[in-house]
Structure 1
Amino acid sequence: MNKHIVSAICGCLFFVNGFSQSKTIAELLTEIEQNNTELKSYQSFTESQQLENKSANNLPDPQVSGYYLPFGTHQSDDYTEFEISQFFEFPTVYSARSKWNNLKAEQLKAVYTKKRQEILLKAKDGVLNLYFLQKQKSIEEERKLQSQKVYEQIQELFKKEQVGILDLNKAKIAWLQEQFVVEKLQAEIQNQNTILQTLNGGQPLELANLQLELPLQLQNLETIWNEKLAKDPKLLELKANEATARQKITLEKNKILPNLALGYNYQGVNGNNYSGVYGGLSIPLWNSKNKVKSAQANYEYQQSSTQVASELLYSQFQQDYNQYQLLYKKYNQYQETVANLNSEDLLFKAYSLGEFSFLDYYMEVQFYRNATNEMIQMEKQIQLLQAQLLIYQL
């Protein structure tokens, strides 16, 4: 009988756990990436731009023309002429433009990846904010219960005329303040849920049991920066812009070469007809003027822009990295000092035993609560900075 009871309990626990499994941030971000409407629309835009760029390298449409001249005074038969022709640029132009289009496709890919990472970073920040709001709410709910117990105790003491009305009012205000803090946090949690649901294409997310990794001791600055250089879409976009501008010079130089035309021509008059190959040559004397110089100037601008932007990104990266290291060190010191003290419980027991007045208890407990709150905010800042520094991994 006991074995059956134990088996039933284990089965129930397994059943409950199956429906209350927590999700990692990576799993949530994967879901948001699949459902985000902005990313879907931007992906469609990217595809349309790539197709438009490819269409610019198509041959022009063939031309067909004909003449039939029956009017006027003439002794011979009516004059008839028919011609079909195909115009095209010099063959090397199409090869150069194809390479240019491929580089522009890399540009679009980098821009899409940058947009994707911006949205996923926003989502990750939102999940982190939600996690710490939930964590703070759990702490504040315990504090609210403690404040309620203190208020109820002082009510009893007031009835026995052992404390005055001022202590009773202070205890009630402290309890009301904690109630307001919990209600405010609940509203913020709801708002954050709404923001994340919007990022998820309007579909709800399972956010009840979030799993959060502990803050990391990051690798050294140069190691992370080298990884960022190879993967970060902002830097890849700059390189793609530069490569595209360089290929544009090659394309414009090829477009100086003459345009060509080939076709078939037929002429018929006075019972005779002639037919043969048609050929034409168009020399771009005016249309190509200054275009190579313009492309070269744009390439020089892109080179300079890449250098300036890279330096700015590295400077910001250094600042974020140094700030992270400082906060990480301070957080560990706080954690070692505050986390294991259990000061609020000890103070509450001391107050319950009459070792503190309400005013002394409240001042002491606020000090430790402020320290705990600061440690939570510090952990939050570390997680947000870590997400920013490692955005290239998203």
Structure 2
Amino acid sequence: RRNIGDLQSRNADLAYKAERTRLLLQAKQTCIDLVHYNALAKEYGIRLENAQRIADTYRIRLDKGDADILEYNKAKLNLTAIQTERAKVEAEQVALLAELKRMNGGKEIFFTQDEFTPPVLPADFEEWYSNAEAKNPVLQYVKGEVNIGKEQVKLSRALSLPKFTTGYMSETVVGEQFRGITLGVSIPLWENKNRQRHAQARVKASETALEDTRLQFYTRLQGLYHKASILQQNALELRRSITENRNDALLKKALDSGEISLLDYLMEIGYYYDAVIQALVVERDYEQALAELSAVEL
């Protein structure tokens, strides 16, 4: 019974650790989303400044007769579209900060980070997984249930065995006194055998649950590892392509000098803008996959 009590106490601690890990992962994922939206806010801030400059320029040119109303309307529409996207991003920032505040017991959190610190993906999955499995509180909890069940089987088996008692007895009957050794046998009822069968069935169920949980854990982490590996490569390629092929400064110069129309400028700069957003999304997704992959380290 003492062993069972110790195992149950240990499993209670593991259940607490599992819940703690879940909450810490949730907080980390919220922070990752916030870094992403902070980066978006920074990017849209740059775009908004540029769009405002273009709109102001075309308003002045319209007043001077150097541009027509169609060009000016394009500049205004571009400005409005960027303002709308910026407002959406700011709304997400507010919502995520509110969620962090809730997780922090109602205390305000100032979170301005807008870049990810490049995390390291484990080089060898199988080697890393062995360590992760040993640290996973859910797996350890299910293993604990198996051990508890085995101890209960032992206890039930002990309770189902016949019990022998010995002693010394003295008795007086009608003036005569009898003394001698007594021997007693106690035969357990059928209830104890049923309890033993129930305990054995529980062990088998727990062992099945353990194997299923282990398989699910392995499969999920293996999938996350491959996903993170692909996302990491995509993020690196996108950033390299943006660095090598960015032409926003050249496009601005061409627009200001009249070499290209506003429509051509907006179309060309749109390719660059799309690539930057795609890179930010891929980097966020990579961080999220890696966070879930390494949750046991929290």
TM-score (norm 1): 0.67
Q: Are residue 195 (structure 1) and residue 99 (structure 2) matched?
A: yes
Indicate the residue corresponding to 2:193 in structure 1.
289
Q: Pick the aligned partner of 1:365 from 254, 265, 269.
A: 269
Indicate the residue corresponding to 2:119 in structure 1.
215
The within-5 A match list for 1:19-98 is: 97-98=1-2
Distance (Å, rounded) in 1 between the aligned partners of 2:162 and 2:111: 64
Q: Which string of whole-angstrom CA distances, capped at 9 and with x for unpartnered residues, describes residues 186-239 of structure 1?
A: 111111000011111111223134774213232211012111111011211121
Do the aligned partners of 2:134 and 2:140 also contact (CA within 8 Å) in 1? yes
User: How far has the Cα of 1:258 moved from its partner?
Assistant: 7.0
Matched residue of 2:95: which SS? helix
Indicate the residue corresponding to 2:155 in structure 1.
251
Distance (Å, rounded) in 1 between the aligned partners of 2:137 and 2:114: 28
Distance (Å, rounded) in 1 between the aligned partners of 2:157 and 2:121: 52
The within-5 A match list for 1:1-394 is: 97-209=1-113, 212-256=116-160, 284-339=188-243, 341-394=245-298
The 1:339/1:218 distance shift into structure 2, 3 A limit, reads farther
Equivalent position amino acid for 1:251 in 2 = L
Indicate the residue corresponding to 2:172 in structure 1.
none
Q: Which string of whole-angstrom CA distances, capped at 9 and with x for unpartnered residues, describes residues 245-279 of structure 1?
A: 11111121223357999xxxxxxxxxxxxxxxxxx
User: How far has the Cα of 1:283 moved from its partner?
Assistant: 5.2
Do the aligned partners of 1:351 and 1:357 also contact (CA within 8 Å) in 2? yes
The 1:245/1:103 distance shift into structure 2, 3 A limit, reads same
Do the aligned partners of 2:36 and 2:114 also contact (CA within 8 Å) in 1? no
Matched residue of 2:279: which SS? helix
TM-score (norm 2): 0.88
The 1:357/1:211 distance shift into structure 2, 3 A limit, reads closer
Task: Give the ranges of 4+ consecutive aligned residues of structure 1 lying more than 6 Å apart after TM superposition.
Answer: 258-261
Distance (Å, rounded) in 2 between the aligned partners of 1:297 and 1:153: 80
Distance (Å, rounded) in 2 between the aligned partners of 1:346 and 1:223: 49
Equivalent position amino acid for 2:200 in 1 = Q
5+ residue gaps, structure 1, are: 1-96, 262-279
Do the aligned partners of 2:44 and 2:86 also contact (CA within 8 Å) in 1? yes
Equivalent position amino acid for 1:175 in 2 = L
Distance (Å, rounded) in 2 between the aligned partners of 1:133 and 1:346: 27
User: How far has the Cα of 1:384 moved from its partner?
Assistant: 0.5
User: How far has the Cα of 1:281 moved from its partner?
Assistant: 8.8
- Count of residues in correspondence between the two structures: 280
Do the aligned partners of 2:55 and 2:79 also contact (CA within 8 Å) in 1? yes
The 1:258/1:98 distance shift into structure 2, 3 A limit, reads farther
The 1:389/1:180 distance shift into structure 2, 3 A limit, reads same
The 10-residue stretch of structure 1 (212-221 or 224-233) with the greater mean CA deviation from structure 2? 212-221
User: How far has the Cα of 1:127 moved from its partner?
Assistant: 0.5
The 1:252/1:392 distance shift into structure 2, 3 A limit, reads same
The 10-residue stretch of structure 1 (211-220 or 123-132) with the greater mean CA deviation from structure 2? 211-220
User: How far has the Cα of 1:282 moved from its partner?
Assistant: 6.8
Distance (Å, rounded) in 2 between the aligned partners of 1:230 and 1:381: 26
Indicate the residue corresponding to 2:171 in structure 1.
none
Q: Which string of whole-angstrom CA distances, capped at 9 and with x for unpartnered residues, describes residues 72-93 of structure 1?
A: xxxxxxxxxxxxxxxxxxxxxx
CA RMSD in angstroms, aligned pairs only: 2.1
Equivalent position amino acid for 1:317 in 2 = L
Equivalent position amino acid for 2:33 in 1 = N
Distance (Å, rounded) in 2 between the aligned partners of 1:159 and 1:223: 69
Do the aligned partners of 1:110 and 1:234 also contact (CA within 8 Å) in 2? yes
**Percentage of identical aligned residues:** 25
The 10-residue stretch of structure 1 (202-211 or 331-340) with the greater mean CA deviation from structure 2? 202-211
